[in-house]
Amino acid sequence: MLEISWLAIALTIAAASTPLLLAAAGELVVERAGVLNLGLEGMMLMGAVIGFIVKVESGSWFVACLAAACVGALFSQAFAFFVLTLRANQVAAGLALTILGGGLAAVLGAGYVGVSLAPMPRIPVVGSELHPWLGLLEHSPLFWLGLLVVVGVQWFLFHSRAGLVLRAVGDSHDSAHALGYSVLKVRALAIAFGGAMAGLGGAYLSLVHTPLWSEGMTAGRGWIALALVVFAFWRPWRLLFGTFFFASVTILEIYAQGFSLAVPPQFFAMLPYLATIAILVFLSSAYWRGRSDAPAALGKTFAPPY
């Protein structure tokens, strides 16, 4: 039986890491293009609510996920308009997006609170009845999509020409502009991709993780995804370790309750947040700082010269 319970833990970790992986992979691309989008939480909530509503109304998982991604991308363009066209402060615009998204999602989903869904079916694995460990491979399609996105982003950023342009824009927008690349267009597309991934991450929460809608159901995952990008040093591969670590810390709370430890559950719930801080401290040491790959133009407003 021990084996089965470890299996359950591994499955929960995988399940808890998917929304973080999706949102962080999107944000990583955005930051590689030199834009800091603090609106992840808002975009995730929009994706969560739209995905849920579309699933309830249309019944199709695929359409629901597609709608969530589209809404995330569309919503992120409000942010893009403000930071790119109106050259607004990225921190303030991102916060506005988070607050607006939270409110909008609450209003949209008001009629759907308390509605429940069957969770998204997992992709079955042939022969999973032979050995319980094969069951480890049974996940919702979004889980596999998350892994695919990481691979795709890694390939795109470091093995494609367009990715090279994107990184150039993020490292020195003036040079990229001088070379004739449209800085604003590249950034707008990157922000749209980040929005779509955040929307999908949100949809994972409302369709797979806890198949229902409730206000503020992301519970700070958007912010943790932001920290994960730092944790990964802006390298997609390392997101896998980061999300695995954070998801393990998150589910500790659930299992700690099962073991009826003397520590109050709230303290276990604090762990992901405290761990984020601890890791940020660790990574900010001089040794790691020198190895960091932070985009040089991150957070800087681009105003094209004459």
Partner 1 sequence: MLIVRIEPREFDTTSTQGARAHLRVLGLAAVVPLLVSLLLGGLIFLSNGIPPLHGLHAFFIAPLSDRLGLTELLVKAAPLALIACGLLFVFRANVWNIGAEGQFILGAIGATGTALFLVPQDSPFCLPALFLGGVIAGAAWAGVVAWLRAHLRVNEILCSLMLVYVAQLLLHWLVQSPWRDPQGYNFPETALFESSLMLPILVERTRLHLGVLFVVPAVALTWLLLNRSLFGLAISVAGRAPRAARFAGFSQKRIIWMTLLVSGGFAGLAGAVEVVGLTGQLVPRISPGYGFTAIIVAFLGGLHPLGVVAAALLVALTYLGGEAAQVTTQLPYAAAGIFQGLLLFSVLAFGFFSRHRVRFTRAVQRPAGQVLQASANLPANPSANSSTNPRVDL
CB 302, CB 173: distance < 8 Å: yes
**Does residue number 54 form part of the binding site for partner 1 (CB under 8 A)?**
no
Closest CA to 195 of 57, 38, 302: 38
Q: Which amino acid is at 79?
A: F
Distance of closest approach, residue 79 Cβ to partner 1, in angstroms: 9
**CA of residue 276 relative to chain centroid, distance:** 15
- Check residue 136 for interaction with partner 1 (CB under 8 A): no
Output the smallest distance, CB 177 to partner 1, in A: 9
Binding mask 181-210 for partner 1 (x = CB under 8 A): -x-x--------------------------
Rg, Å, the chain Cα set: 20
Complex with partner 1: residue 16 or 120, whichever CB lies closer: 16
Q: Look up residue 123 and give its DSSP letter.
A: P
User: What minimum distance in Å lies between the beta carbon of 281 and partner 1?
Assistant: 5
Within 8 A by CB and 6+ apart from 265, the residues are: 253, 256, 257
| The only residue of 85, 116, 160, 257 in contact with partner 1, by rule CB under 8 A | 85
Amino acid at 28: L
Our finding on whether 52 is near partner 1 (CB under 8 A) is no
**Residues 6 or more apart from 270 whose CB is under 8 A from it?**
none
Pairwise CA distance, residues 300 & 26, whole Å: 19
Per rule CB under 8 A, is residue 165 in the interface with partner 1?
no
User: Count H helices, E strands: the chain?
Assistant: 12, 0
Return the DSSP state at 122: P
What is the smallest separation between the CB atom of 69 and partner 1, expressed in angstroms? 21
Instruction: Note whether 56 binds partner 1 by CB under 8 A.
Output: no
Residue 177's CB is within 10 A of a number of other CB atoms, namely 17
**Residues within window 227-246 making contact with partner 1, judged by CB under 8 A:** 227, 229-230
Q: Which segment (2-10, 66-74, 146-154, 294-302) binds partner 1 by CB under 8 A?
A: 294-302
Interface segment toward partner 1; rule CB under 8 A; list 51-59, 69-77, 135-143, 262-270: 262-270
Residues forming beta bridges with residue 116, ordered by sequence position: 212
Phi, psi dihedrals of residue 116, rounded to the nearest 5°: -120, 155
Asked if 262 touches partner 1 (CB under 8 A), the answer is: no
- Single out the segment in contact with partner 1 by CB under 8 A; choices: 13-21, 64-72, 126-134, 212-220: 212-220
Which letter, b or e, does each residue of 125-147 get, where b requires 16 or more Cβ atoms within 10 Å of its Cβ?
eeeeeeeeeebebebbbbbebbe
Q: Which of residues 98-127 bind partner 1 (CB under 8 A)?
A: 98-104, 106-107, 110
Candidate residues 220, 241, 257, 293; the one interacting with partner 1 per rule CB under 8 A: 220
Q: Give the nearest distance from C-beta 119 to partner 1 in angstroms.
A: 25
In terms of phi and psi (left: phi > 0; alpha: psi -120 to 50; beta: otherwise), the region of 35 is beta
Q: Is 9 in the site for partner 1 (CB under 8 A)?
A: no
| Diameter of the chain measured on Cα atoms | 70
The CB-of-78 to partner 1 minimum distance in angstroms stands at 7
Residue with structure tokens 């991102």?
94
**Would you count residue 67 as binding partner 1 (CB under 8 A)?**
no
Footprint of partner 1 (CB under 8 A): 31, 36, 38, 42, 78, 82, 85-93, 95-104, 106-107, 110, 182, 184, 215-216, 220, 223, 226-227, 229-230, 264, 266-267, 269-270, 273-274, 276-277, 280-281, 284-285, 289, 294, 298-301, 303-306
